[in-house]
Amino acid sequence: MHLIEETFKKKKPLICYFMAGYPSMEKSYETAKALIDSGADILEVGVPFSDPVADGPTIQVAHEKAVKDGITPVNVFELTKKIKSEYPEIPLILMTYYNPIFIIGEQKFCQLAKENGADGFIVPDLPPEEAEEFKKTANSFGLATVFLLAPTSHQERITLVGRMSDGFIYYVSLTGITGARETLPWEELEKKVSQIKQITGKKVAVGFGVSKKEHTQKLSKISDGVIVGSAIVKLQGKGDIEGIRKLVKQLKEGME
Ligand SMILES: O=P(O)(O)OC[C@@H](O)[C@@H](O)c1c[nH]c2ccccc12
């Protein structure tokens, strides 16, 4: 069975996003280790890109600095390889905009991802309607493609994503960009997640805005997994590895 699926079978995972190469290659490796050692079940590895349209200020800054420092997909693959060799049981999902895939080529990108320990992809600017070819290629390498749904997604889109998404569906808690929030639209969230689960029969993990234990506590009751990004990346940028450990432990506490 695929590693992502297996992880969801065992528990409701805490999925942690961080940016590769930020604020340095070494620090991003330390970040990954700290995330896993303090309880992250799945990592989303951010691939730096010059025009991250879905990202809020915190992650934008991370993209910008990593790009300026010359971090390339090749560097990201070096990092995933290193993480995978140390933590073979932790799924690594590359979170990348489509452009780097386009430049390297779908076939080659998937091959490199596979060779370097990745387990799948989330490509936020590749709509499922246009992803048939990429999914086919990724799947031929045994790599998962995870797709997103949002509060604005209707039945037809939900059905399509249900068919296209491997392992789980990423439900975006709110319309807008990534970034830690004080509160989430709980009522709508609960309704939508159960609707998606009912239509697709797939696991649904929720991300966007999650920043504290109170959030993970509520989300783990109404969904199959929780995704956290900006709250981590903020600490990552300061090189605050201890802070990352503390945060992940707290978020994880909410899920037990
Ligand atoms: O940062 P947040 O609000 O905690 O949300 C997770 C998110 O960062 C991560 O999954 C992500 C990073 N970049 C993205 C782009 C699109 C969708 C999702 C993402």
User: Which residue ranges make up each domain of the chain?
Assistant: 3-253
Q: Which residues pair with 121 in a beta bridge?
A: 94, 145
Predicted ipTM of the assembly? 0.98
* Separation of CA 208 and ligand 1 centre (Å): 6
Number of Cβ atoms within 10 Å of the Cβ of 188: 12
Catalytic one of 26, 30, 44, 115: 44
Q: Ligand 1 centre and the CA of 1: distance in Å?
A: 26
Residue-wise pLDDT tens digits, 180-196: 999 999 999 999 999 99
E-strand ranges in the chain read 14-19, 42-46, 92-95, 120-122, 144-146, 148-149, 169-172, 204-207, 225-228
Our answer to whether residue 55 is catalytic in this structure is: yes
Q: What angle (nearest 5°) sits at the alpha carbon of residue 86, between those of residues 102 and 146?
A: 35
Q: What is the pLDDT of residues 29-44, one digit of tens each?
A: 999 999 999 999 999 9
For ligand 1, atom 13, the nearest C-alpha belongs to 55
Class of CATH domain 3-253? alpha beta
Q: End-to-end distance of the chain based on CA atoms, in angstroms?
A: 25
* Contact criterion met (CB below 8 Å) for 74 and 81: no
Q: Which atom of ligand 1 is nearest to the CA of 232?
A: 4
Do residues 25 and 66 touch, judged by C-beta distance below 8 A? Answer: no
Q: Give the predicted TM-score (pTM) of the model.
A: 0.98
Residue 182 bears catalytic tag? no
